[in-house]
Amino acid sequence: MRFLCFLLLLVTIASSQHVNARAASGAIDAKTFKQLTKAQNYVAEEAFDEALTVLDKLSKKKNLSSYALAQVWNYQGYVYATKGEFSDAIQSYQKVLKQKHVPEALVLNARYVLGQLYFQMEAYQDAIDSLLMWVDEVKSPSAIALIMLAQAHYQLSKYDVALDFVNKAIDKQEASSKKITSKQTIVPESWLQLKAALHFAKQDIKNTVTAYEVLLRRYPNPQYLKQLAGLYGELGLNQKRLTTFDAAYEHGELGKGKEQLNLAYMFLEQELPFKAAVVLEKALANGDLKTNLKYQTLLAGLWSQSGQHDKAIPAYQQAAQLSNDGELYARLAGVFYQAVDYASCVKASKKASAKGGLLFPGQNFLLRGLSLVNLGKLEPALQAFRQAKEHKKTFKAAREWEKYTLAQLERESTL
C-alpha cells in the first residue's frame, strides 16, 4: 500500500508541476487553479474528505477545458487511492482517459496508475491490459512496471509470459546497478522469489534450484536452505541435500520433530550414524520427539553402529524396558560383548531369553556361551553352546565351540 501510494504521489507531483506551468497560459483559469491548490493543501493535512469535496465541485464546473478537467480527475483519483478506495480511484482515472486533448504524459500516468490499482483489486487481466498499453507508449518501461506485469501473469497462471517479464525486470535492475552504485538498485528479494516460484510452477526443478541458489547468495536466509535441500532431493543429489539440510539445522531452521528425524535418517543413508545419533538424541532430550520404543531403539542402534558403546548401552537399556519382548536385551548383550563386558553380556542374554520373542535365539545362546568362556565358566558355557546347537543358523558355530569347550574341560580335569 505504501509502495503504491508512493508511486501515485510521484505521478501527482509531476501533474501538479504541469498545472503550474500551464496556469499562466490560460489552460487552467486562475479560479480553477486556486481550487486545485486548495485541494492539494487539504491532502497535505490529510483532510481527504475536504479535498474530495473541493474536487467534486470543480468537476461539475461548466466551461472547464479538457486539460483542466483531466487534472481534476487525476488528482481526485490520487486522493481516493491514498484513502484506499481503489474502486473510486479507478473510476476517476478512467475519466482522465476519456478527456480529449489531454497531454500524453497525463494519459500515460493514468494508464500506469490504473494498472497498479487494478492489481490491488486483483483484477489482473485489467491490470495487464492497462500496463501493456503504457509499455507500448514509453521508450523505456520501468523495472517496477515489468515486475507488476510478471506478477499479474503469474496470478493468471501464465507462467511463461510471467517469467519473460520477471527476467526483463531483473536484467533492467541489474543494468541500473552497474551504472549507479546504490543499494536501491539491487534486485529486490521478492523479484528473485517470484522467479523461483515461476520455475517451480513450471515443474522446472533444475532452474528452480538455480534461482534459490542465487537467492541464498544475495539474501542469506536460512529458510532457503530448507527449500534447496528439498529440491536437491528431487534431483537425486542426496549429498547436497544432506549438507544443505544440515546447514539449515545448524541455523535452527528445521521444524521440530519430523524434520529432525528426517535429517537423522539422511545421515544414516550416507553412512554417518554418529551424526544421525547426535541429531536424534538432541531431539529426544529437548522433547521435540516423544521418547518411545521406535525412536529409542533407533538411537541405540545408531550409537552401536558408531562404536559408541558407552552411549549405546544406556540407550538399549531404556529401549529394552519399553519393549514387550527380549529382542533388545539380545542386542544389548551384543553391545556388552563388543565392549568386553562379558558378565553384563551374560546377564543381558539371560534377560533376553526370559522375555522371549527373539529373532535369532541361537545367536543369543552362542553369545552367552562365548562370554562365559571368556569368564572361565566352562560348564555353563557348554550348556549355552548346546542350546545354540538347537537352532539351524548357529548349529555349526555352536558345535565347534562345544568341541572347544569340552577339550578345555578335559584339559582342566587332566591338570
Contact partners, residue 321, CB within 8 Å, separation at least 6: none
The tens digit of pLDDT for each residue in 274-312 reads: 999 999 999 999 899 999 999 999 999 999 999 999 999
Q: Which pLDDT tens digit goes with each residue over 319-356?
A: 999 999 999 999 999 999 999 999 999 999 999 999 99
Nearest 5°: CA angle at 384, between 356 and 386? Answer: 105
Of 98, 121, 139, which residue sits at a domain end?
A: 139
Q: Rounded distance, CA 244 to CA 235, Å?
A: 14
**pLDDT at residue 19 in the model:** 42
Residue 219 in domain: no
- The residue range of the domain holding 92 is 1-139
Contact 68, 26 (CB under 8 A): no
Residue 323 CA, chain-centre distance (Å), reads 38
**Domain contains 32:** yes
Q: What per-residue confidence (pLDDT) applies to 33?
A: 87
pLDDT at 252 over 90: no
- Over residues 125-152, the pLDDT tens digits come to 999 999 999 999 888 899 999 999 999 9
Q: Point out the domain boundary residue: 139, 174, 200.
A: 139
Whether residue 314 has pLDDT greater than 90:
yes
Measure the CA–CA gap between 157 and 218, rounded to whole angstroms.
27
Residue 153 covered by a domain = no
Cβ burial, residue 169 (10 Å; 0-12/13-18/19+): buried
Distance CA(142)–CA(135), nearest Å, equals: 9
Which pLDDT band holds residue 25 (cuts at 50, 70, 90)? Answer: very low
Is 195 a domain residue? no
- Rounded mean pLDDT, 92-102: 88
CATH for 104: 1.25.40.10
Task: Look up cell 525486470; give the residue.
Answer: 169
Confidence of residue 16 (pLDDT cuts 50, 70, 90): very low
**In the structure, what pLDDT confidence band is assigned to residue 179 with cuts at 50, 70 and 90?**
low
- Which grid coordinates belong to 412? 582342566
Average pLDDT estimate for 86-100: 91
Which one has a higher pLDDT value, 35 or 255? 35
Out of 139, 169, 204, pick the residue that ends a domain: 139
Distance CA 93, CA 70 (A): 9
Whether residue 13 lies inside any domain: the answer is yes
Please compute the mean of the pLDDT values over residues 15-41 and round it to a whole number: 64
Please give the pLDDT value at position 343.
96
In this model, does residue 202 exceed pLDDT 70? yes
Q: Is the pLDDT of residue 9 over 90?
A: no
Total domains in the chain come to 2
Instruction: Tell me the mean pLDDT in the region 97-113.
Output: 89
Chain center to CA of 80: 37
Domain for residue 265, yes or no? no
| Residue pair 40/113 in contact by the 8 Å Cβ criterion | no
82 found inside a domain: yes
Nearest to 53 by CA among 30, 68, 72, 31: 72
Q: What is the mean pLDDT of the chain?
A: 88
Examine the pLDDT at 39 and tell me if it is beyond 60.
yes
309 is a domain residue: no
